Amino acid sequence: MKKILFVLASAVILLVSSCAEDMLDTAPTSSVSGTTLLSNTDNAQVALEGTYKILYTPNDEWLGTEFNVQQNFGIVSHNIVADLMGEDFVQNEMGNGWFWFDYIYDVHRRFASNGWRCYGIWNFYYKVISNANYIIASEATMQGPETEVKRIVGEALALRAYAYYYLTLFFQQTYVGNETKPGVPLYTEPTTSSTEGKPRGTLAEVYTQIQLDLDKAASYISKDVPATHKSHIDYFVVRAIQAKVYLTMEKFDEAIVAAAEARTKPGVTLTPIADLGKGFNDVNMSSVLWGGEVIATEAISGGWGTFFCHLDPGSTPAVITANGYGVRSRKCIDKSLYDRIASSDQRKNLWWKGVVSPEAASGPNKSYVQLKFKYKNVADYTGDYIYLRAEEMLLIEAEAQCRKAAPDYAAARALLLELGAVRDAGFAGRLALLKDENTYNTDTHAAATNVLEEVLFQRRVELWGEAGRLFDLKRLKLGFTRDYVGSNHPDKLASKNTAANSILFALPIPQQEFDGNPNMDITSDQNPM
């Protein structure tokens, strides 16, 4: 029987209601056809906003993840996974097990068990792709002003590119050196119940499509028309996504131009440290390029399926009073990384180093617990989700300046000083001591000795909990250790292979894909395990 994975299995789009916040979905019966739904720009905008809502909505049934709604809440949950699979992010306790199995690398053997990590990520991004494909395909028939048609289609193209990019980040090794290795199945047209599943193809083919989509999106979305909301993709967000893709592809000159332009978004400035320490929960923070504004009515019952429920450890680290999973399973910074943050660096206050209160001195050590991410509204467990901000663009540009064919260390230093000016009063003096070199130590616990190493270190500190450390380890072809002397990791991974290009760094493809896709053979197409 010809069929493809659950997420793409339907021929039509279901419009749940006319509310602009309703989710665009696929359903096998009782549905409104895509042609009718996307006949004009007003309706298409509703569908587009429904797709944006997917990016931050807790979900289980429509992703086929059953009981795991608590750890499937969109983009930010995936970045937690990628951080936990590195060395900088510590899950101090197992708690109920949510995210713990990512942290201890126990997800690979669960590829045949519906509800586990590979299902949630695979299904999520193909859901976005499926919805984007319907919108993109409606361009020729969509009624409305041409500029509006192009904007809507351009945003859908950017969403599709973003989804394919993240699929490659999770389900294959990095791009450079692996271009001919299997990518992920490419779908660029609306799928129906009779659509036959696609083969994996190559990583190069997927990145070619990503670049085509982003180039077209940049040409379709006017630079002069700002997004109506931070949750929407505008021209500058497209450039930011391009900068990330170019850095992964080691197209350093292109990454420099894209990242620099993304930072020219009107009204965007680096976030002052005082604002950075307010909980990292507001899309109106000055450096935010793109994020999701989460309101109480969109949080699941009880609030457990939210980012801040998993991260916020309570108002006072020594005496925990707040409720939430972050209290039971605290998220901490790696001690080695924390120790290398200068005492003059105000970001060091985003983690708490100390011991429990004297009356509970025999209890668990809460040192190094994170304070960066806190509830915006503790009563309903909510806060806004931040996807991209200017600081990441600055660091992409700085790294690319060091690694391009003719390195410009002066430019990289100037960018680092720009960030240091709002973070660390002692930074300029330390930067002056570093060499102009673009090599980096394979020991990720070593101190920076040159400008590139300092850029990479700043990424780890500034983007902790945001950008997915695993993705950097993969593209830099680095391994990591957790079992160093004095480590605060409860799981040391001493018996696991965490060398460069470890097979553990690529998630297994869900069994369900092989069951439903005749062009995917588990013996030849499954990732090594």
pLDDT digits (tens, 9 = 90+) for 390-441: 999 999 999 999 999 999 999 999 999 999 999 999 999 999 999 999 999 9
Question: pLDDT category, 12, cuts 50, 70, 90?
Answer: very low
Pairing of the two strands 89-91 and 288-292: unpaired
In the predicted structure, residue 234 carries a pLDDT above the cut 70: yes
Asked if 342 and 249 touch (Cβ cutoff 8 Å), the reply is no
Residue 230, domain member (yes or no): no
The number of CA neighbours under 13 Å toward the Cβ of 448 is 26
3-state secondary structure 460-485: HHHCCCCCCHHHHHHHCCCCCCCCCC
Cβ atoms of 216 and 290 within 8 Å: the answer is no
**Quick check: helix, strand or coil at residue 311?**
helix
Q: Which residue has the tokens 């696991």?
A: 496
Q: What is the CATH number of the domain that holds 36?
A: 1.25.40.390
CA atoms of 152 and 150, how far apart (whole Å): 6
What domain range is 176 assigned to? 6-66+114-221
Element (H, E) at 330: none
- Residue 45 within a domain: yes
- 420 part of a folded domain: no
Per-residue model confidence (pLDDT) at position 384 = 94
Tell me: pLDDT of 6 over 70: no
Average pLDDT over residues 484-498: 88
- What's the pLDDT score for residue 63? 56
Q: Is residue 139 part of a domain?
A: yes
| β-pair type (351-352, 288-292) | unpaired
Residue 334: how many other CB atoms lie within 10 Å: 26
pTM of this structure: 0.92
| Residue 1 placed within a domain | no
DSSP letter, residue 184: -
pLDDT of 28 above 50? no
Amino acid at 128: V
Counted domains in the chain: 1
Confirm whether 483 is domain-assigned.
Answer: no
Confidence label for 299 from pLDDT (cuts 50, 70 and 90): low
Mean pLDDT (the chain, rounded) = 87
Query: For residue range 262-288, what is the model confidence (pLDDT) as tens digits?
Result: 999 999 999 999 999 999 999 999 999
Residues in the chain: 529
- Across the range 124-131, mean pLDDT stands at 93
User: For 312-351, what is each residue's pLDDT tens digit?
Assistant: 988 655 455 556 788 888 999 999 999 999 999 999 999 9
Could you tell me if residue 519 is inside a domain? Answer: no
Helix (H, G, I), strand (E, B) or coil at 254: helix
Q: Name the 3-class secondary structure at 42.
A: helix
Residue 467's CB is within 10 A of a number of other CB atoms, namely 22
Answer left, alpha or beta for residue 175, where phi above 0 means left and psi between -120 and 50 means alpha: alpha
Among 51-60, 158-167, 238-247, which stretch is predicted with the lowest mean pLDDT? 51-60
510: its two tokens = 């869900």
Residue environment code for 253-267, b if the CB has 16+ CB neighbours within 10 A, otherwise e: ebbbbbbbbbbebee
In a domain, 160, yes or no: yes
Sign of CA dihedral 517, 518, 523, 524: negative
